[in-house]
Amino acid sequence: MKTIKNTFLRIAFCTSLLVLAVGCDKDNPLGVLDVCGSDSWTESVQTELTAWNTALSNYASAPTAENCNTFKTTGKAYLDALEDVKPCVGAANQQAFDQVIAEAKVDLDETDCTDL
């Protein structure tokens, strides 16, 4: 359960970075998807975040192998969705954002669901 707590905290930190990050330029000459304006980036990851939070709650209340695997799958889907909004992270926060996502992916990969 410690790994799950660490993963949750890493993902929460990553989301916080996005909230505090400087938005993308709407006149994007590089063709990056415009998910950065207003709060649209949060909407673009909301489905994955909701699924991950539900899986976390289910796993916390019933730590079964099935719930553990669902937690891992939905966590990875959320991290993948965060990668899509990566252009929204300001340059000052980019390294921390990348590191948190990488560490959360490792935490999810190392979560062992076989002993449940």
Q: Is the pLDDT of residue 17 over 70?
A: no
DSSP 89: S
Q: What does the DSSP assignment read for 3-67?
A: HHHHHHHHHHHHHHHHHHSPPPPSS-TT---S--STTHHHHHHHHHHHHHHHHHHHHHHS--HHH
Q: Is the pLDDT of residue 51 over 70?
A: yes
The 10 Å CB-count burial string (b at 16+, else e) for 49-63 is bebbeebbebbeeee
Give the per-residue pLDDT at 14. 57
Give the per-residue pLDDT at 20. 44
Give the per-residue pLDDT at 30. 44
Q: Is the pLDDT of residue 77 over 80?
A: yes
Q: What percent of the chain has pLDDT over 70?
A: 66
